Amino acid sequence: PLILGIETSCDETGVGIVRGQTLLSNVIASSMEEHARYGGVVPEVAARAHLEAITPTIEAALAEAGVGFDDLDGIAVTAGPGLAGALMVGVGAAKALALSRELPLYAVNHLVGHVGADVLREDDTELELPTVALLVSGGHTSLLLVRDLVDDVELLGETIDDAAGEAFDKVARLLGLPYPGGPHIDRIAAQGDPGAIRFPRGLSLPKDMAAHRYDFSFSGLKTAVARWVEQCRAEGREVPVADVAASFREAVADVLVTKAINACRDLGVPRLLLGGGVVANARVRELARERADAAGVALRIPPLSLCTDNGAMIAALGAQLVMAGRAPSELGFGADSTLPVTSVQV
């Protein structure tokens, strides 16, 4: 089926078109720069930017794919989770298109969309299930068990405070680096010593592992970095920025990868899929590769353009629903900012 997917859950207005498991176009307009001076995504600013970008982005995606509205077999849209006002723009646009063009509409889950992105890979290797999936971005840090893409996704754990990308952005800010800070920390960390400072690995102590085996916490780490830097400044010493960045990056990568590989081992699922913008991190990728190899876990990392938020992954999940024979969503649904992963479709 030829499906157009719309994604507006955070700061990317993404529209993509797929035919089954083949990517035809993937157009993204980001309002990231507008959020830079606030040091994080501002919901109202994001919603307004989506409103301005949505129509041109839909037109660009159709043009790039070389198809028209009449060729489409359906529309897919992110219904949640995400920022309510941002989600509403995509949902409103999708309903309007579905009604005016008489197309079936599939309202889907953003996080499961990140997993669905994998079917668009060009290397012709199929996504094998079940798989553990680690999704890490500015808004999410979630560990999932995916038994079936369209109707069997389980949440193993998630962050109890900041998302990993958010921690990168906050630590970057306190080191005086611009937003979004993840790429800057990653670059500077390459020059530092990851063993210079031992920062805490959140929820990894034996007492935490009982109740929070697959959950994450990054706010304590952020505070530890802030204290360390303050102390340095108070003593009049120059802050060793590269060492701080490398040690912080190591702590994040270590805890992400350890928990993901633990899940693979505990559940006897020798497959791990990564998704989300933090997957761009060089150390996260390297450590995941090392530990997956050591544990006999097959690691899948989709190309980065499919890891960050995009419309193609939503279209891909919509196409999976169509191919599984699912009925379209009833048009009465609304945006759900806290939609659970167990709801693949609403």
114 annotated among ligand-binding-site residues? yes
Stretch that binds ligand ATP, among 149-157, 230-238, 270-278, 336-344 (CB under 6 A): 270-278
Which ranges in 40-139 belong to alpha helices (H)?
Answer: 43-65, 84-101, 110-116
The dihedrals phi and psi of 128, each to the nearest 5 degrees, come to -95, 140
Q: With respect to Fe ion, which residue has the nearer C-beta, 77 or 297? A: 77
**In the complex, what is the shortest distance from the CB of residue 255 to ligand ATP, in angstroms, rounded to a whole number?**
14
68 annotated among ligand-binding-site residues? no
339 annotated among ligand-binding-site residues? no
Q: With respect to ligand ATP, which residue has the nearer C-beta, 74 or 157? A: 157
**In the complex, what is the shortest distance from the CB of residue 72 to Mg ion, in angstroms, rounded to a whole number?**
26
DSSP-based three-state secondary structure for 172 = helix
The verdict on 336 binding ligand ATP (CB under 6 A) reads no
Among 309, 320, 341, 345, binds Fe ion (CB under 5 A): 309
The verdict on 11 binding Mg ion (CB under 5 A) reads yes
Stretch that binds ligand ATP, among 45-53, 136-144, 212-220, 228-236 (CB under 6 A): 136-144
**In the complex, what is the shortest distance from the CB of residue 206 to ligand ATP, in angstroms, rounded to a whole number?**
28
Q: With respect to Mg ion, which residue has the nearer C-beta, 10 or 245? A: 10
Supply the DSSP string of 179-237, one letter for each residue: SS-HHHHHHHHTTS-TTSS----TT-SHHHHHH-TT-B--HHHHHHHHHHHHHHHHTTP
Strand-by-strand arrangement of the 22-30 sheet: 22-30, 12-19, 2-7, 74-80, 105-109
C-alpha angle 294/168/164, rounded to 5°?
55
Among 80, 192, 276, 318, binds ligand ATP (CB under 6 A): 276
The dihedrals phi and psi of 299, each to the nearest 5 degrees, come to -105, 130
In the annotated binding site for substrate, the residues are 135-139, 169, 182, 186, 281
Residues that bind Mg ion (CB under 5 A): 10-12
